[in-house]
Chains A and B, each alone.
Chain A
């Protein structure tokens, strides 16, 4: 079977998904995703021209609540799960390149 996906496509998807993959993983996913997508291609044989999609099995409706202040979790409690915090905030490396 000729894989449908190219290595470049796998690298593009990995970049979109924010995943660093090893060369071995890229090759494995190229093969496996191609196999799965080929299997899934059978859906395209079905005529669904006038069929609406089912994004949820529940009837579509707005779920509203009163706009009232409710008790919420304590900041300390939430920050406790972070790998790195500074001055009561989540800490990340630089987002922008600073010369």
Chain B
């Protein structure tokens, strides 16, 4: 192993310690990431836009700040010099933001998303904007207009989606952490497929300002890293009230106590039987059950629970999210941003621009959502879906009267092969069956690796918590990672 690989293997917490002590400079760390990106990117394609000049400028500034702070004893920003990547659905001022779509091919946002700005204020360095399914609509990153991202564990397989570029970049050690978004599983499922740790916060916990809207009642901004501790470090600086997002909740974030205590006595873990259904890959079921048994061995109490409306989450989600998307994506018409297809009159301009520049899955969901909201079908589809959503949310409320946390698989199988579900939308949607309920109920979810299948592909487990209960999820995952080594496994195929 050479020096570059040593550095890019650093966790956020280890890098921070090395930067503070002066044994490492931000420039060295950022150069190591950029060199690794240059080496692996042709095979993995995790980025849409790289920002090496910006990253090196930010790193040089961070190095100067560390030197000054050491001389004068000044305090330094908490994440100063930590390189991250950002999903290309979150605005970073002055850097192209495509959302994986041709319709925003040349869009340069004039401001940064709140979650991004807060991390910049905390000192992070930005390596680039990562690949994703177009407008976050997909479960494999195959729906990006900018090419397919490959899974670092096996290049013939998908990295999951929609935040597949972010998950793959973290797994491949191209960055120490990355931002993603999760509307129906788009952080947790790629985290699971790529063997990294990914958090979907409670709805309203992290501001959506500057996140390009897909399903506004479901969208959340999440984060990937290689340990729960690192996820907690970044999450703590993203979360919090923002007056520019009307759904932002003014609730203080408790200090995240991730200490070395591994006794889980008094914690009740619920195992929902609806998540261990026929058709689930046996290796996934076995690895998740073994992880639950491991937590039980550390003192947690494990109970069987029921979330009876789980099977309805898929049809509910695939009516509500497309309905919200059909409204949110109405703004892309070739007038205020993005390229346009010229036409004789304004209606043709709209229809031609949208018809030619949106990809197949985005058009499919706009059509589906428009239908579900249209006269004569609203009550039967959209209205009924919103009522069943209430039943799904109640399932969680009842469960959290009995248990502190729910443990389940992230997805029914490990990462599938590229092309497996091409032009079979319903089969692709079924991949999201275990991640959709948390979005519909608004509760937080955390995915992390708990084993591998016979092909060497990672298996993930998700913990779901009561609203604003992120700390419990991070604490349990931290305890798991203190006492196991799955999260330390590293893909080598692309090297």
Contact = CB atoms under 8 A, between A and B. Distances in A.
A94 B364 CA distance: 29
Interface stretch (B10-18, B31-39, B243-251): B243-251
B351 A46 contact: no
Interface string A51-91: 11111111000010100000001100110111110000010
B316 A17 contact: no
A30 to B, nearest CB: 10
A18 B351 contact: yes
Interface string A29-59: 1001101110110111010100111111110
A94 B352 CA distance: 15
Contacts, number: 165
Contact of B367 (A19, A63, A82, A83): A19
Interface residues of A, number: 51
A7 interface: no
A42 B313 CA distance: 11
B346 interface: yes
Could you say which of B204, B346, B380, B388 has the most chain A C-beta atoms within 10 Å of its C-beta? B388
Given A18-B333, A40-B381, A57-B203, A92 B338 contact: no
Contacts of B336: 78, 81-82, 90
> Chain B interface secondary structure, helix, strand, loop or mixed?
helix
B257 interface: no
Contacts of B315: 39-40, 42-43
Interface in B203-225: 203-204, 217
B335 A92 contact: yes
Contacts of A57: 203-204, 217, 393, 441-442, 467
Q: Which of A21, A36, A52, A80 has the most CB of B within 10 A?
A: A36
Interface string B353-390: 01110101001101110110010000011011111111
B338 A81 contact: yes
Interface string B340-356: 10111111111110111
Interface string B310-349: 0010111011000000100010011111111011111111
A99 interface: no
Size bracket, chain B contacts: 35 or more
Given A48-B384, A81-B338, A90-B336, A40 B319 contact: yes
Contacts of A42: 312, 315
B204 A58 contact: yes
A5 B71 CA distance: 72
A93 B346 contact: yes
Nearest to B319: A40
B108 interface: yes
Contacts of B364: 29, 32-33
Contact of B368 (A21, A36, A78, A93): A36
A65 B345 contact: no
B110 interface: yes
B282 to A, nearest CB: 26
A90 B337 CA distance: 10
Nearest to A91: B335
Contacts of B333: 18
Contacts of A95: 345-346
Given A18-B330, A19-B351, A48-B391, 19 more contacts: A13-B374, A35-B426, A39-B314, A42-B315, A48-B390, A53-B386, A54-B390, A57-B217, A57-B441, A57-B442, A57-B467, A58-B249, A58-B442, A73-B111, A74-B110, A80-B110, A82-B336, A83-B338, A93-B343
Across the A-B interface, give the 8 residue pairs with the lowest CB-CB distance, nearest first.
A57-B442, A20-B355, A53-B386, A48-B387, A81-B337, A40-B315, A83-B340, A20-B351
